[in-house]
Structure 1
Amino acid sequence: MDFGRRKSFSFFEEDRKSSRPGAHTPVHQYHSRAGGGGRSPAREAAEPARLSMSSAVPGLGLGVEVPLPPMQGGCSPWVQSPLHGRLRFPPSPAAIYHCLAALHRLEGDVHALAVARGVLFTASDSGRVRAWAAPGCFNRGYLDVGRGRVPALAACGSTLVTSHARDHHVRVWTVCAAVVCDHVRAKKAATLPARSSLLLHPFAKRRPHPHRDTVSCLVLHAVAGLLYTASHDHTVKAWRLSDGSCVDSFVAHDGPVNAMAVNEADGCIFTGSADGTVKMWRRVYGGTAHALIIVLRSSELSPVNALTLCHAAATPGSVATRRCFLYAGSSDGYVNAWEKEATVGRPTHVGYLKGHRLAVLCLASGCGGRVVVSGSEDATMRVWRREGINSKGGGGSAAHTCLAVIEGHRGPVRCLAVGGGEAGEVEGSMVVYSAGLDKSVKVWRVRVVGKEDDEEDDDGEDCGDDPEAAAEILMAGEIGKAFDDGETHVRDDVEEDEFVAPTPVLSPVWVEKRRHTSRG
């Protein structure tokens, strides 16, 4: 196994071979904006990399750029911000978010991210998986996983799983990334399916067949010791990690499977497809087969590109010990939300989030399941906070707040990851890793403002005993507003120009109940 080593000024060693022409065409092609993205790729490659720190509050004047020294030798496709150096202008504590690190790849796009044990893994077209110490993104070496594009990654503990577009196989690695080591060490544990099983058992009744198309997503079910793989060939396969055997394979959708999530508590599998549906599967008790439980559909059958699960503490007096929420990002720019019922265990639609102008490509959750981060083709990321569930008079609805609109990428945000900030954890904040089709990876520190902080920002005004009046509802695309006895309060720390498109972050059920309450 070949591993990279650290160089001075954080420039890293990698082979000069470029990605094969025509090997991969990006799913979403985009054009740079006339305002700020009009530079050619050749000019961007020649310019020095920059560390930019931005804030969701434009009035604070935190748009600071620190130039880096020019690239030495031009041999590395990665350049990195020197975070170990001193910053003249540290970010203000009042900022909702700021950039901790920025990595730029001079050739090829970053297709997948994974975080485990304080290590960030990035996969690109080079056939190598890079390892970075989180959250500062200092080089920890690379894994030579093979030639071709790596479209998906999954990491849990010391296990790293990679999918390969060239042969449609999946490889499992055992990674050792100790703190005392300067670079990671990895050993290939298995190739799924094993090549020997395809040759030694030609007349077996049930031979393990590889996927016939690109493996788009990987999910590890650590409790059961299973690995789930989903592909554009409409199928989902379950693999037992102990022996590498395929325990189940089934056709999940009528279209390519783009997203998948697993509930560690009960073992339910959620799959999202280009056919516009989200399906819930459960493994048969005492067996290996999976049964379809329910098909979830939104109002418009738009292709589903991303899924994420959030677990939160249950409300006092509730039957369930923990509440489970499912979020699905679609190509129409919406993020639909479902909550798992406490008694039956079936998901119930509780609303949707609207704010992105183009397709939602990725989702991630953090802060104990209270916060969801969405990445879109419009080159922005949005941070949503779930306020609560109103279940009066029938079905429930979830109110969400848009905490920040992050505009740090110049292309579609392809993948997201949350976590891995143990080295510099700040109370009330989380670390978000983002990668876009602009060949860059960025690390963000996002401050999650609680309800108590919001009430203090309202100049000490009392909202009364009404829970709906006390909850602040931010509009995704305009100024944050709080409803208090019919009066509108505008937050002083948010300007209207920071947001785009005045679209509410409310569910139709909540709006209908609000109308009936105001009429009464």
Structure 2
Amino acid sequence: MEYHPKRSLSNFIHEERNAVLSPTNISMEFLEEKRELDLQFSPAMPSSPLATMHKLMAPPSPESPWKLSPLQTPSPSLLYHCIASLHRHEGNIYSIAVSKGVAFTGSESNRIRVWRQPDGMETGYLKTNCGDVRAILAHGNMLFTSHKDHKIRLWNFTVSDSFRSEKVASLPRRSSFLFLPRTNTQQHKDCVSCMAYYHAEGLLYTGSHDKSVKAWRISDKECVDSFVAHEGNINAIVVNQDDGCVFTCSSDGSTKIWRRVYRENSHTLTMTLKLQPSPVNALALSTSFNHCFVYSGSSDGTINFWEKERVSCRFSHGGFLQGHRFAVLCLAAIEKWIFSGSEDTTIRIWRRDERGCYHECLAVLDGHRGPVRCLAACLEMEKVVMGFLVYSASLDQTFKVWRVKVLPDENMCFDYLDQTDSRTNITEYDISPVLSPASWEEKNLQDDCFYQ
């Protein structure tokens, strides 16, 4: 069977519109197609002592919330479960940020919700006079939010017995409109879709659907540079905190690297990363042990990655991660761990090996019933067990909190030396297809914040 990775979710909905959603009533033809797709995506281990170990380490009773990663690989096992699933009738959630033990969510409403870690209990909110919060960024006790009026709002917040916040300023400042002759360069002319903060210089970078990037100096709330970066909507922006390089991606299918000119506020293009015409929706930067990787998620369902060369300092293409059925909409990275959310309703957790050239998918989180629009992750340690808290929001209008635990290598009591030579392609995991309602198909056509 020939697989077409560029098939969109709306086409998939159209093909399966008359299907019954219960997995027990899905047509045999669809299950056969799904099985063949699974076989294409992931080589995995055959039945082996590892499978026996999975059974031994499985939850002791059906009531246990923990799930063992269904992927059979010679890597440390991974356990996960959803510890909170929250639904509020305030429209779609577009953005998530985590800082100081709380998580922030921005949605179509004019309230930015605040959730306590790790239980996901609501602890407060920030109320604004303009909603549609497409981007949120938190650094320390500072919070940056973008709104429907194309402005960015700055907040200070404290978390103790109760959550408290104070609005500090709006960008551009009102005085910019009254006294500066270059008013037309101060404010974005379309949706501000993404933000990044360079800690060392106190610079806030904003990317917009007006195709431009602006740099704001937070100390005096001024726009110090503005430049057209792409030919299409800018969907994501990240900053390398080690050298200040700015990475942007766009619906025009490219990822670009910008460097600030020494002792100046202007920025110059140093490299363009482009492999296919598919729109690039998400970026993540991973740095560890003198390595630097940039990951880009595309509408064709792939995640491409580039590695920074030590001698030339240029980025060379290292390969791509394939597993998602539809567009990758969001990415997050913590050292060698990469988290991806997709239009196929799932979240995948990937791990990069020490050599940097090989990645494996350790888990597929499939609790949402709609495209995963945004996610955030933070490290959580418990004794010798490493773990993560993963926050995700979907077009099913739910906000979920996941706890993920990675069992250490010493817990693995089997010898895998002979298993790597006996790999065969088997079904990676059994997924229960969840088809989107017709309203998502309409949104797919109307919401240009996702696709062009």
Q: TM-score, normalised by structure 1?
A: 0.68
SS of aligned partner of 1:434: strand
Deviations 1:233-275 (A, max 9, x none): 0000000000100000000001110011100000000000000
The answer to whether the Cα contact below 8 Å between 1:119 and 1:420 also exists between their aligned partners in 2 is no
C-alpha deviation, 1:286, in angstroms: 0.6
AA aligned opposite 1:483:
T
AA aligned opposite 2:352:
R
2:420 to 467, 480, 483: 483
Give 1:285's aligned residue: 262
1:171 to 133, 140, 153: 153
SS of aligned partner of 1:198: helix
The answer to whether the Cα contact below 8 Å between 2:136 and 2:146 also exists between their aligned partners in 1 is yes
Deviations 1:29-65 (A, max 9, x none): 796984259xxxxxxxxxxxxxxxxxxx89957996x
Give 1:468's aligned residue: none
AA aligned opposite 2:391:
Y
1:358-397, aligned counterparts within 5 Å?
358-366=326-334, 369-389=335-355
The answer to whether the Cα contact below 8 Å between 1:135 and 1:421 also exists between their aligned partners in 2 is no
Distance of aligned partners of 1:420 and 1:28 in 2 relative to their CA distance in 1, 3 Å threshold? farther
SS of aligned partner of 2:178: helix
Task: Return the alpha-carbon distance in structure 2 between the equivalents of residues 238 and 171 of structure 1.
Answer: 14
* 2:226 is the counterpart of 1:249: yes
C-alpha deviation, 1:187, in angstroms: 1.2
AA aligned opposite 1:386:
R
* 2:280 is the counterpart of 1:304: yes
C-alpha deviation, 1:92, in angstroms: 6.5
Give 1:417's aligned residue: 376
Deviations 1:412-468 (A, max 9, x none): 00001011747x787222111111111111111222356665xx36x33435xxxxx
* 2:144 is the counterpart of 1:161: yes
1:39-50, aligned counterparts within 5 Å?
none
Give 1:225's aligned residue: 202
The answer to whether the Cα contact below 8 Å between 2:388 and 2:405 also exists between their aligned partners in 1 is yes
Deviations 1:57-105 (A, max 9, x none): 89957996xxxxxxxxxxxxxxxxxxxxxxx645368762111211112
The answer to whether the Cα contact below 8 Å between 1:334 and 1:356 also exists between their aligned partners in 2 is yes
Task: Return the alpha-carbon distance in structure 1 between the equivalents of residues 171 and 216 of structure 2.
Answer: 8
* 2:394 is the counterpart of 1:436: yes
The answer to whether the Cα contact below 8 Å between 1:282 and 1:291 also exists between their aligned partners in 2 is yes
1:269 to 246, 268, 284: 246
AA aligned opposite 1:91:
W
Task: Return the alpha-carbon distance in structure 2 between the equivalents of residues 207 and 461 of structure 1.
Answer: 63
Distance of aligned partners of 1:174 and 1:499 in 2 relative to their CA distance in 1, 3 Å threshold? same
1:445 to 403, 421, 444: 403
SS of aligned partner of 2:213: strand
Give 1:192's aligned residue: 171
TM-align CA RMSD: 3.0
Task: Return the alpha-carbon distance in structure 2 between the equivalents of residues 111 and 260 of structure 1.
Answer: 15
Distance of aligned partners of 1:426 and 1:109 in 2 relative to their CA distance in 1, 3 Å threshold? farther
C-alpha deviation, 1:405, in angstroms: 1.0
**Alignment size in residue pairs:** 383
Deviations 1:326-351 (A, max 9, x none): 00000000000001111221111111
Task: Return the alpha-carbon distance in structure 1 between the equivalents of residues 383 and 108 of structure 2.
Answer: 32
Task: Return the alpha-carbon distance in structure 2 between the equivalents of residues 255 and 268 of structure 1.
Answer: 21
* 2:186 is the counterpart of 1:209: yes
AA aligned opposite 2:430:
E
1:131-146, aligned counterparts within 5 Å?
131-146=114-129
Task: Return the alpha-carbon distance in structure 2 between the equivalents of residues 425 and 123 of structure 1.
Answer: 33
Distance of aligned partners of 1:95 and 1:309 in 2 relative to their CA distance in 1, 3 Å threshold? closer
1:126 to 90, 109, 112: 109
Q: TM-score, normalised by structure 2?
A: 0.78
The answer to whether the Cα contact below 8 Å between 1:416 and 1:434 also exists between their aligned partners in 2 is yes
Give 1:8's aligned residue: none
The answer to whether the Cα contact below 8 Å between 2:345 and 2:371 also exists between their aligned partners in 1 is yes
Distance of aligned partners of 1:189 and 1:461 in 2 relative to their CA distance in 1, 3 Å threshold? closer
SS of aligned partner of 1:96: strand
Where do 5+ consecutive residues of structure 1 fail to align? 1-26, 38-56, 65-87, 314-321, 390-396, 464-481, 502-520
User: Highest relative contact order (Cα 8 Å, sep 6+), 1 or 2?
Assistant: 2
Distance of aligned partners of 1:127 and 1:232 in 2 relative to their CA distance in 1, 3 Å threshold? same
Task: Return the alpha-carbon distance in structure 1 between the equivalents of residues 9 and 225 of structure 2.
Answer: 32
Task: Return the alpha-carbon distance in structure 2 between the equivalents of residues 402 and 357 of structure 1.
Answer: 14
Task: Return the alpha-carbon distance in structure 1 between the equivalents of residues 314 and 82 of structure 2.
Answer: 39
Deviations 1:466-501 (A, max 9, x none): xxxxxxxxxxxxxxxx523xx3389xxx97443699
The answer to whether the Cα contact below 8 Å between 1:62 and 1:92 also exists between their aligned partners in 2 is no
Give 2:415's aligned residue: 460
